[in-house]
Amino acid sequence: MKIQVVESVLKANDAVAAENRRRLTAAGVLAINVMGAPGSGKTLLLERTIPHLAPERCAVLVGDLQTTRDAERLGAVTPLVTQINTGTGCHLTAPQVTAGLDSLALDRVKYLFIENVGNMVCPAGFDLGEQRRVVLLSVTEGDDKVAKYPTLFQVADAILLTKVDLLGVLDGYRRERVYEDISRINSRAAVFEVAARTGQGMEPWLAWLRAQRSP
């Protein structure tokens, strides 16, 4: 019985996600689901990414259980920001994104960043209707997380190793271990090393983003 309930929830989510994707594609919007643990640097990455694109054509839907703190931060780089508070929900769902889309003038948007709730598990299982999935993993989380949370990394079109400016103070971080795990779990993902704080490595990431709009 329990399994049937879970399956029907996912089926309903997927149907709404398909409708979101149809709507986004029709409006010429590239939607990117940005996932990663709390503190992996999702909001800072967007704060430092959007000014390099056309900020007035970038929109953000940002999911958190509580507070509008991330929306306030992102509001400094684009006016098109909607905070989605999930209450107790530990991931965004497609119907929440539909409500977010209703709040935006989609025909003005080129890039829609959907910052998911900080979580390394269930966001991977909930299609939101996005066209690309990006997963952040900060070096301060350790070199073992790709192997421990494979489902999240499996769905990624791009994986960003963040906070690489801190590598010098992390004893025993094995970068090659992370790359080995990525190539075993998802060899098609583009991998970038960035430090949004210093700007290190941002150009290849921005080039990848731009290429997704004009493949």
Residues 6+ apart with CB under 8 A from 179: 191
Angle between helices 202-213 and 42-49 (to 10 degrees): 70
47 counts as binding Mg ion under rule CB under 5 A: no
49 counts as binding Mg ion under rule CB under 5 A: no
What's the chain's Rg over C-alpha atoms? 17
CB-wise, 70 or 143, nearer to Zn ion? 70
Least distance in Å: CB of 92 to Zn ion?
9
Least distance in Å: CB of 62 to Mg ion?
7
Out of 10, 27, 77, 90, name the contact with Zn ion by CB under 5 A.
90
- Numbers of helices and strands, H then E, in the chain: 8, 7
CB-wise, 42 or 133, nearer to Mg ion? 42
Out of 91, 133, 145, 163, name the contact with Zn ion by CB under 5 A.
91
User: What, of Zn ion, Mg ion, none, does residue 141 touch, CB below 5 to 8 Å by kind?
Assistant: none
Give the count of residues interacting with Zn ion (CB under 5 A).
3
Out of 33, 43, 82, 138, name the contact with Mg ion by CB under 5 A.
43
Angle between helices 94-102 and 2-26 (to 10 degrees): 30
Half-sphere exposure of 112 toward its Cβ, with a 13 Å CA cutoff? 30
122 counts as binding Zn ion under rule CB under 5 A: yes
C-beta of residue 80 within 8 angstroms of C-beta of residue 60: yes
70 counts as binding Mg ion under rule CB under 5 A: yes
